[in-house]
Structure 1
Amino acid sequence: MRAPLILALGLAFGASAWAHNCPNEMKAIDAKLATKPQMSKENMDKVMALRKSGEDHHKAGKHTESMKDLGEAKKMLGL
């Protein structure tokens, strides 16, 4: 009986920690964008769209989708 409770608590806290990382990812992207990285307009537009999508997903509570989009944006920026 104790093991399922511990597992449930671990998953709840793990999801919470994941959710709180979205703003840190957005800050990292914003900091890199502030340096005006050299990239094509097409790629810059895609990074900006991914950044916005990540923020929108975060606000909607869809943290897995948010982290996916933010991770792709970071990859394109070389982070």
Structure 2
Amino acid sequence: MTWITLKTTGNFWEAELMQQMLAAHEIPARVIRQGVPVHFGCAAPAALQVRLQDQWTALLLLSPLEERDEQIT
């Protein structure tokens, strides 16, 4: 199984939240820590990884919603 890094973040908890969102849609994901915190309570960088075949679905699920242009006529 091939895993790719979908997103990197400076906060482990943010990556874990994205992992939970993908799990709700039955997309396997994993969070990889990318270092150690400088001191206790400091956030450590992390990467969110998904399987190669789930890349585009995961990107769509995690992308921001497009804002609708509401025109007053």
Give the TM-score, by structure 1 length. Answer: 0.28
Report which of the two has the higher share of strand.
2
Report which of the two has the higher share of helix.
1
Give the TM-score, by structure 2 length. Answer: 0.29
